[in-house]
Amino acid sequence: MIDAQLLISAVIFGLSIGAIFFLMAIGLSLCFGLMRIISLDQMLYYSLGAYITYSVSVASGSIALGVLGGMVVAGLASFAVERLILRRIYDRDIAFTMITSFGVLIGGVGVIKYFWGLVPRPVQIPLSSQVTIAGTEVPVYRLMLIAISLLVYGGLWLFLNRTIIGKAIRAGIESIEHVEGLGINVYRLFTVTFIIAGSLSGLAGGLYAPLIMVDPQMGLDVLAFVFMVVIIGGLGSIKGTLVSAFLVGQVVSLGSLIYAPLAQMAPFAVMLLILLIRPTGLYGTAFLKR
């Protein structure tokens, strides 16, 4: 019998991990939905966000400033990669773009090692206070992560449904040919989408940095889980990414509570089960070649 307080702690832990998974995976989902590329280099921007947060927080003493700096640097890095590399291969096969983005990730890890070395770096937790929920003390910082992920989801929804650029991106996800037919420069949409995706990945790294040791391999360590979140939710679906991220977070958290190895195995079992029932994921639609 699992203790009630332990169960509540595990649920909150799972939701906070899911929040980070969402911020990391949403970039992958957006890039696939509009550009039909699997942008594994999003994990590089996640790592960059964490390292910039570390460096700025050490220099200034402000974690918030570090997270903001991480978002900006990650956004600039994603802009450079999109303009210099990915823009040249949009018309190539999806497997080719995935391998190219993975090469960018591996090369970026090497750059991080060059500037910051191989030793993991700690980042101070900005909020050490706790709040009591049903008799269980829960870290406020983890609740803040959950709230931020929901705010990001709400902001993305408003952007995609209430702004001209957002509506153009949604239309491009449905049919890029129709958007081109309206005279809209789709490559500008690609750039905007990629910068948003990279900035959110950097935000994920900056927010998660205080809970882990910042390490050059941190992007590679979570790559399988993030890819799994996107697959379960449905490629290109923002709502599916949110639901899937919280689902995987809970499976990891509760699985480790029941039996530690389940934290690694159970998410893959869940993914296989869902794909057997819904091959396109929870909220995905059939893949259409462009």
- Condensed to tens digits (0 to 9), the pLDDT of residues 162-216 reads 888 888 887 776 667 777 777 777 888 889 999 999 999 999 999 999 999 999 9
Residue range 144-159: mean pLDDT, rounded = 94
User: Can you tell me the distance from the alpha carbon of 71 to that of 68, in angstroms, rounded to the nearest whole number?
Assistant: 5
User: Can you tell me the distance from the alpha carbon of 124 to that of 57, in angstroms, rounded to the nearest whole number?
Assistant: 8
pLDDT at 71: 96
Query: Which of 148-152, 189-193, 232-236, 244-248 shows the lowest per-residue confidence on average (mean pLDDT)?
Result: 232-236
Residue type, 289: K
User: Can you tell me the distance from the alpha carbon of 121 to that of 51, in angstroms, rounded to the nearest whole number?
Assistant: 8
Query: Which of 46-60, 84-98, 216-230 shows the lowest per-residue confidence on average (mean pLDDT)?
Result: 84-98
**Which pLDDT band holds residue 249 (cuts at 50, 70, 90)?**
very high
DSSP 168-229: HHHHHHH-HHHHHHTT--HHHHHHHHHHHHHHHHHHHHHHHGGGSEE-TTHHHHHHHHHHHH
Closest to 221 (Cα-Cα) out of 102, 97, 43: 43
- Condensed to tens digits (0 to 9), the pLDDT of residues 11-68 reads 999 999 999 999 999 988 888 877 778 889 999 999 999 999 999 999 998 999 999 9
- Across-strand partners of 137? 132
User: Where exactly are the structural domains of the chain?
Assistant: 4-277
- Condensed to tens digits (0 to 9), the pLDDT of residues 56-85 reads 999 998 999 999 999 999 999 999 999 999
pLDDT at 236: 74
Sign for the CA dihedral angle at 165, 167, 168, 174 comes to positive
Closest to 178 (Cα-Cα) out of 51, 56, 288: 288
User: Can you tell me the distance from the alpha carbon of 101 to that of 38, in angstroms, rounded to the nearest whole number?
Assistant: 8
- Condensed to tens digits (0 to 9), the pLDDT of residues 100-150 reads 999 999 999 999 999 999 999 999 888 888 888 877 888 999 999 999 999
Q: Could you tell me which CATH number the domain at 4-277 has?
A: 1.10.3470
Total residues found in the chain within this entry: 290
Asked if 252 and 14 touch (Cβ cutoff 8 Å), the reply is: yes
Measure CA of the first residue to CA of the last residue in the chain; give whole Å. 52
pLDDT at 290: 42
